[in-house]
Amino acid sequence: MKPAVRPSPLQSLVADPKLLSGATHLPSLHTLALQIQHNLQYQHSWADLRVHTRSPLTNEPLPRPLLSGLPPQRLYVHPDEQIELLKKADQQRKASLRAGGDSNALEVKAEPEREWILPTRLSEKWTLRRLADVFNGIGLVPPAAASESTEEDRPANPFRTTKRVVLATVDSDSTVVYYIVHDGVVKPRQN
C-alpha cells in the first residue's frame, strides 16, 4: 500500500476555492500571482504581500492580477539619491571619527519601499502596449495595506518619480527571475 501523498503548501494555497471565488481574471493568472506571492514570502522574506485585481486609481479591473509588498531591503536606489546617501554616510563617518570612533567604513542606509509586482510566465509575449496598460492602472507606489486609496499615493521618497514594477517571470520548471521595469526613461546609474 502506497503512503498518502500530501500536497505541498503551494499546491494547497492555489487549490483553495476561497481565493478564486469572485475572481475577475482567469484562474491561471490568479494562480500565477499566488505562486509568485508564495515565492516572495517564503524564499525572499517579503512582508505585507497582497493581490490586487482592481486599479487603486480607478477601481476598474487591472489587465491581470498584480501583487504589492515590502521587500526586506531596498530594490532600487535612484542615482541622485545614491549620491545624497553617500554624502550623508560620509558625514556620519567623519563625525564618528572625530568623536573617537574607529570605524572607517561607510554605512549607507536606504529604507525599503513598497513595490508593485507583475507576475508573468516566460512563455508570454510582452509588448510596450501591454506594459503601458499595466502602468496605466497603478499609482506611483502601491497603497498601504490599511487604506485602498482611489487617488495616487505619494511616495515618502522624493527621488521616486516614475512608476515601476518588479517583473516576476516564472519558467516551466518553477524558476522565478525578477527584473525591475520602469515606466519611461530613467537616469542611468553612475559607476
pLDDT for 151 beyond 50: no
Q: What is the pLDDT of residues 38-60, one digit of tens each?
A: 999 999 999 999 999 999 999 99
User: By C-alpha distance, which of 154, 191, 189 is closest to 76?
Assistant: 189
The mean of the pLDDT values for the chain is 83
Neighbours of 166 (CB within 10 A): 23
Q: What is the pLDDT of residue 155?
A: 61
Q: How far is CA 112 from CA 47, 70, 106, in A?
A: 11, 7, 19
How far apart are alpha carbons 187 and 15 in whole angstroms?
43
How far apart are alpha carbons 131 and 144 in whole angstroms?
23
CATH 2.60.40.10 fits 9-75+113-182, yes or no: no
- Residue spans of the domains in the chain: they are 9-75+113-182, 76-111
pLDDT band at 9 (very low <50, low <70, confident <90, very high): low
pLDDT for 20 beyond 50: no
pLDDT for 7 beyond 80: no
Q: What is the pLDDT of residue 126?
A: 93
